[in-house]
Amino acid sequence: MDTEIWVEKYRPRTLDEVVGQDEVIKRLKGYVERKNIPHLLFSGPPGTGKTATSIALARDLFGDVWRDNFIEMNASDERGIDVVRHKIKEFARTAPISSPFKIIFLDEADALTPDAQAALRRTMEMYSRTCRFILSCNYVSRIIEPIQSRCAVFKFKPISKDAMKRRLIEICEKEGLEIDDEALEALIYISGGDFRKAINALQGASALGQRIDANMIYQITATAKPEEIEKLIETAMKGDFLSAREFLDSLMIEYGMSGEDIVSQLYREIIGSKLDEAVKVVLIDKLGDVDFRITEGAHERIQLSSYLAYLTLIGKKKKSKGD
């Protein structure tokens, strides 16, 4: 019985297998050819291949001894100055095995405190002859300038639809799954460019049967269908506040969605809608306020109901103007 997590099972083994980051891979292959790399800084959204690329780079550089010369650490677990002074420094000062240097991969480096980053900068300088650092972060602005200036910066972009679709079809073929175009589009929609999320959703849906459809994807990921969110907006803007509120309640109960999930999908649908640009600006401005209040701990049902009420008022104003 195959019990492996698919995210790990289909993790790229070499740089050639990394999906959707062609420009990044092209530059990194140049380092592999020269058998030398500078300190690297990978930044980008979650699930775009930063960790997978780091491991693939180590495999291509070191071959069979890559595990002896590569260590992966997560800065969000231990983010203080002690982890830099002890754990990282201890590994950096030991000699590499059958290689001129070793690699320390520091994931979520933007979680390190400013003091820890200052200590890390000094460690990067002291052991640069025998140790290279790869720092991974979601927000490069949270990395102090002295570290950024010591690294070659690589920006990872969300995985494109075509690249994601090709890889998902390949995984389905290897796993013996039947998947239609609507289900693939649903996977791409719920992932938002996060490949890890798409693969996890696909594995979750595969537990329900060999034939995958869009409904399974939305149920597994607790995501409303785009047309349902669109219907919610239209109902409110037609002036039918009570029907819109009932529809919102049914969505939250049926899919088990949180207030933040609803806000995120509302944002995507408003951006992609055919509404006038001036109306979109007003609606998103108000949605930002709702998102902030929910994040700060306000009652999500009340906040979302207030947003539907706002949509209703906007819709009635448009009607009164004869738009």
pLDDT digit string (tens) for 251-280?
888 888 888 989 999 999 999 888 889 899
| Amino acid type, 172 | C
pLDDT digits (tens, 9 = 90+) for 55-93: 999 999 998 889 888 988 877 666 556 666 677 787 888
Cα–Cα dist 151/133, whole Å: 9
- Whether 2 has a pLDDT exceeding 70, the answer reads no
Handedness of CA 303, 308, 309, 314 (dihedral sign): positive
Q: Residue 323 pLDDT > 80, yes or no?
A: no
* Alpha carbon distance 172, 212 (integer Å): 10
Task: Give every CB contact of residue 150 below 8 A, 6+ residues apart in sequence.
Answer: 39, 121, 124, 125
pLDDT per residue as tens digits for the range 216-230: 899 888 888 999 999
Confidence of residue 317 (pLDDT cuts 50, 70, 90): confident
Beginning with the edge strand found earlier in the chain, give each strand of the sheet holding 70-74 in spatial order.
70-74, 102-107, 131-137, 39-43, 151-155
Domains in the chain (CATH in brackets) are 6-155 (3.40.50.300), 161-220 (1.10.8.60), 226-320 (1.20.272.10)
Q: What is the pTM assigned to this prediction? A: 0.83
Q: Which tokens go with 243?
A: 């029907």
For the chain, what percent of residues have pLDDT higher than 90?
53
Distance spanning both ends of the chain, measured CA to CA = 61
Q: For the chain, what is the mean pLDDT?
A: 88
Angle CA 88–93–97, to nearest 5: 105
Average confidence (pLDDT) over 117-142: 89
Going by pLDDT thresholds of 50, 70 and 90, the confidence category of residue 7 is confident
Q: Is the pLDDT confidence value at 1 over 50?
A: no
Q: 80 and 116 in contact (C-beta within 8 Å)?
A: yes
